[in-house]
Chain A
Amino acid sequence: METTVDTALAPPARRRLARRSAREEPAWVRLALIFIALAFLLLFLFAPLAAVFAGAFRKGWEAYIASIIEPDAWSAIKLTLLAAGIAVPLNLIFGVAAAWAIAKFEFRGKSLLITLIDLPFSVSPVVSGLIYVLIFGLQGWFGPSLHEHDIKIIFAVPGIVLATMFVTFPFVARELIPLMQAQGTEEEEAAVVLGANGWQIFWRVTLPNIKWGLLYGVILCNARAMGEFGAVSVVSGHVRGLTNTMPLHVEILYNEYNFAAAFAVASLLALLALVTLALKTLVEWLGREQINRGQA
């Protein structure tokens, strides 16, 4: 008799107990960990992001717009777009070429090449900038001969583009190398057997397989290209209206205690960061969909 009562009453209570299986922590531990994680992220990630926008609109919309369309800001925006506009496509080409060479062919010095590709990530951006100064600066290796031909690289736009290219070089290649290595060479070999030439293989076989990884690399590459500060700061010379990118312009405004304007320009860069994250999440999702479909 007792057992029947037991089983009749037990199920709902038991279901609640069942929540805590062998792989779960007690509820209070879970809540505490979630709280710690979110509090930490709030203090170090979310609050700074909010601070940018709060600072940007502190003096209202009009001041915000004014500090963005002001000529020096405008030229900084244009220079940033130019630098990214050159650096990203070139690094796209270099990145695909490097990844292709590393993933699909065997050659001497391959592991050296892989290490070199990573170099810009492990070198301080300030040191990267310094390297360009030492090569192209007035006292650098090519400095005197460049000066003779009246070509300016350091403290001029070409230096900014070069420095941007250097620090953003790894993004595309690093994204593609593991992807292309995992995919192997079978599909390409099949295409060769079927009579396709090199270009056809690349456009019809390789590219469709790597498109999401490629896009992912390009998005990150672009974000860094537009946001690079240290390396560009060293080679720029900070000539207002001429060699200032957006991040450098932010620095100048900030050091002049023009905080509202500094945060206004910074908010554009923060917006870029948010768009980057959104696109990145979308691309990750689409890439996963493609893999799932491939497996189905």
Chain B
Amino acid sequence: MSWGQFWDAVTAPRVVASYKLTFGASLLAAAINSVFGLIVAWVLVRYSFPGKRLVDALVDLPFALPTAVAGIALTALYAPNGWIGHYLQDWWGLKVAYTPLGVLVALIFIGLPFIVRTVQPVLEDVEAELEEAAATLGATRWQIFAHVIFPAVLPALLTGFTLAFARAVGEYGSVVFIAGNMPMISEITPLIIITKLEQYDYTGATAVAVVMLVTSFALLLLINYLQWLSRKHNPEK
């Protein structure tokens, strides 16, 4: 395969559309999970409510549930006749399954535990005295969160974000069922690789895979860098 062929294979309009969807949806899913994952971690660390231990254990469900099972379950739920999908359709005319939104839903499912599980231990370690010191200095509860607690968990949140993003970019099983896989619209990059393989286009599949691999490596480096940063800023740990 020459450079020109490689370039053509990885920049074909259908492939580029799949990058946009895969990376865009992964980024958005990781961002949504950062907000809600932080809230979930906060609630699990700080508050008590009935069934908390069960909820805590179930947060890891996306780690344990086979992706294909998650995929068909999410599709059944968010399809226009599904438990949730039919309300979304009736109330807002929103179609989730078989659209790019469906990809987003699957990637949110897959990424949630990465955020919760990286933030949770750090949140547990935030010293009570720091919050009390801020309170005696007159800070409101919100100011204490924004200026004292949040900066302390930010490195962990960023690490979780990167982990969730990296996982989402490569995710296949939970997405293919709900995505609808329409070329140019709801087709993810891993599916492009599979399709090319099924057409015995091994070089084309490899070319796209190389793009994904390079991205994965870049992400891995970024994760290591973030962890190094967080150690630098919390040297007492």
Task: Please state if B65 and A130 are interface contacts (CB–CB under 8 Å).
Answer: no
Partner pick for B76 among A33, A55, A139, A228, CB 8 A cutoff: A55
Task: Please choose the segment from B37-45, B153-161, B225-233 that sits at the chain A interface, where 4 or more of its residues have CB less than 8 A away.
Answer: B37-45
Could you show 26 A-B contacts with beta carbons less than 8 Å apart? A33-B39, A38-B55, A40-B39, A47-B84, A49-B61, A52-B72, A118-B220, A123-B216, A124-B169, A124-B212, A127-B213, A133-B197, A133-B202, A220-B63, A229-B66, A247-B173, A254-B72, A254-B177, A269-B65, A269-B68, A269-B69, A277-B57, A277-B58, A277-B64, A280-B60, A281-B53
Chain A residues with Cβ below 8 Å from B49 are 34
CB of B186 to closest CB in A, whole Å: 16
The answer to whether the Cβ of B34 comes within 8 Å of any Cβ in the partner chain is no
The answer to whether the Cβ of B190 comes within 8 Å of any Cβ in the partner chain is yes
The answer to whether the Cβ of B141 comes within 8 Å of any Cβ in the partner chain is yes
Task: Please state if B72 and A263 are interface contacts (CB–CB under 8 Å).
Answer: yes
Within 8 A of A (CB), among B80-112: 82-84, 105, 108-109, 112
Task: Please state if A229 and B67 are interface contacts (CB–CB under 8 Å).
Answer: yes
Q: Can you list, as one digit per residue, whether each of A39-55 has a CB less than 8 Å from chain B (1) or not (0)?
A: 01101111111011001
Task: Please choose the segment from A22-30, A63-71, A87-95, A187-195 that sits at the chain B interface, where 4 or more of its residues have CB less than 8 A away.
Answer: A22-30
Q: Can you list, as one digit per residue, whether each of A1-34 has a CB less than 8 Å from chain B (1) or not (0)?
A: 0000000000000000000001111100110011
Q: How many residues of A contact B (CB 8 A)?
A: 66
Task: Please state if A55 and B68 are interface contacts (CB–CB under 8 Å).
Answer: no
CA A21 – CA B190 in complex, angstroms? Answer: 51
Chain A residues with Cβ below 8 Å from B170 are 122-127, 230
Task: Please state if B39 and A23 are interface contacts (CB–CB under 8 Å).
Answer: no
Chain B residues with Cβ below 8 Å from A24 are 141
Total contacts A-B at CB 8 Å = 199
CA A134 – CA B193 in complex, angstroms? Answer: 13
CB of B59 to closest CB in A, whole Å: 7
Contact surface of B with A, Cβ cutoff 8 Å? 36, 39-40, 42-44, 47, 49, 53, 55, 57-70, 72-74, 76-77, 82-84, 105, 108-109, 112, 128, 131-132, 135-136, 141, 166, 169-173, 177, 190, 193-194, 197, 202, 205-206, 209, 212-213, 216-217, 219-220
Max chain A C-beta neighbours (<10 A), residue from B67, B171, B219: B67
Chain B residues with Cβ below 8 Å from A137 are 202
Q: Is the interface of B mostly helix, strand, loop or mixed?
A: helix
Max chain B C-beta neighbours (<10 A), residue from A36, A139, A277: A277
The answer to whether the Cβ of A250 comes within 8 Å of any Cβ in the partner chain is yes
CA A41 – CA B51 in complex, angstroms? Answer: 13
Task: Please state if A126 and B109 are interface contacts (CB–CB under 8 Å).
Answer: no
Within 8 A of B (CB), among A248-291: 248, 250-251, 254, 259, 262-263, 266, 269-270, 272-274, 276-278, 280-281
CB of B34 to closest CB in A, whole Å: 12
Task: Please state if A277 and B60 are interface contacts (CB–CB under 8 Å).
Answer: yes
Partner pick for B216 among A26, A38, A122, A273, CB 8 A cutoff: A122
Max chain A C-beta neighbours (<10 A), residue from B67, B69, B73, B212: B69
Task: Please state if B39 and A45 are interface contacts (CB–CB under 8 Å).
Answer: no
The answer to whether the Cβ of A223 comes within 8 Å of any Cβ in the partner chain is yes
CA A51 – CA B84 in complex, angstroms? Answer: 11
CB-CB nearest in chain A for B145: A25
Task: Please state if A43 and B73 are interface contacts (CB–CB under 8 Å).
Answer: no
Task: Please state if B194 and A234 are interface contacts (CB–CB under 8 Å).
Answer: yes
Task: Please state if B212 and A127 are interface contacts (CB–CB under 8 Å).
Answer: yes
Chain B residues with Cβ below 8 Å from A49 are 58, 61, 65, 73
CB of A217 to closest CB in B, whole Å: 13
